[in-house]
Amino acid sequence: MKKNILEAPFVKEMCEATANMYRLGWDERNGGNISYLLETEEVGEYLDLDKVIRTIPTGFDASALIGKIFIVTGTGKYFKNVEKDPEYNLGIVRIAKDGTTAELLWGWSDGGKFTSEFPAHMMSHISRLSVDPDHRIVMHSHPTYTIAMNAVCPIDEKDFTHRLWQSNTEAVVVFPDGVGVLPCMVCGTNEIGIATAEKMKSFRLVVWTNHGIYGTGKNMDEAFGLIETVEKTAQIYMLALGHTVNVIPDKIIKELAALWNLTPLEGILE
Active site residue 117: yes
Q: Choosing from 117, 157, 228, 231, which is the catalytic residue?
A: 117
User: Can you give the chain as a three-state secondary structure string?
Assistant: CCCCHHHCHHHHHHHHHHHHHHHCCCCCCCCCEEEEEECHHHHHCCCCCCCCCEEEECCCCCHHHCCCEEEEEECCCCHHHHCCCHHHHEEEEEECCCCCEEEEEEECCCCCCECCCHHHHHHHHHHHHHHCCCCCEEEEECCHHHHHHHHHCCCCHHHHHHHHHHHCHHHHHHCCCCCEEECCCCCCCHHHHHHHHHHCCCCCEEEECCCEEEEEECCHHHHHHHHHHHHHHHHHHHHHCCCCCCCCCHHHHHHHHHHCCCCCCCCCCC
Which residues are the active-site residues? Answer: 117
